[in-house]
Amino acid sequence: MTTEYDDQIIEAREAGRFTELFDLLITRGVVYSDGMFYDLALRDANEAVELIEGENKGRIGITDNYENAYFLRGLVYEGLNEIDLALSSLEDAIAVNRVLNNGVETQKAAGILSQMATLQYAKGDTAEGDFSMSSAISIHRKSANEDDLRPMLYLLVSLKTRGKSYDTQNRLDDALLDYSEAIELIRSISMYINMMSNEGYKELLEWRASIYQRLGRQIEADKDLEEAKSISPL
């Protein structure tokens, strides 16, 4: 597979422009990964990691994109169904992110943690998945504000995912808290983006109603089910 970046990568590599080379490798690696050319994507990810760790270490400028090499490698290993290797690479990405940000975990770290949680859940490592997702949720909560809705949307997805995990484990009170926070978040976001007419909101109401029913709180369950039935998808 050829890409528009091939000649630029050759030129940057031959000229020793290592920062440019690093960024181009990540960009092309993502293109390969999206196209499911995982062997090619892994080659680019490994070369990018080598620029950080190998003989040219220190020759690329300080960049907040360092962790992208490990994150890309993690996504490629996930595509290859090498889940343990994917998790190891994502853990490396988190460690690099912490170093680059003086121990402060960023929204990028939250995204990596969410990806780790997804893989841990898939492996059946529920406790580890819940821990990773809880860490992501903590970061999202700190970043959520009305000036930037993206952290609020990320928080919504993470709450829904963790809530479902708690639900599956029959941790009803914990699931109820996550579903309720997600529902209130949608209502808050809907001041800016109408999200109360979509299937995701309806689904959350139905999930919470199921929790209420199992807790013997039928009146609250009926209220959620009535609202869910009134929702007409856009």
Query: What 3-state DSSP class applies to 13?
Result: helix
Query: What angle do helix axes 66-79 and 83-100 make, rounded to 10 degrees?
Result: 170
pTM metric for this prediction = 0.83
Q: How far apart are CA 35 and CA 41, in angstroms?
A: 9
- Name the region of 170 (left: φ>0; alpha: ψ -120 to 50; beta: rest): left
Report the candidate in 142, 231, 139 with the shortest Cα–Cα distance to residue 194: 231
* 89-113 pLDDT per residue, tens: 999 999 988 888 888 888 899 999 9
pLDDT at residue 194, as a whole number = 67
Query: What angle do helix axes 83-100 and 107-123 make, rounded to 10 degrees?
Result: 160
* 140-179 pLDDT per residue, tens: 998 877 677 888 889 999 999 999 999 999 999 999 999 9
Query: What 3-state DSSP class applies to 145?
Result: strand
Q: How far apart are CA 77 and CA 71, in angstroms?
A: 10
Whether 25 contacts 47, CB under 8 Å: yes
Does 234 score more than 70 pLDDT?
A: no
pLDDT at residue 64, as a whole number = 61
Domains and CATH numbers, the chain: 1-104 (1.25.40.10)
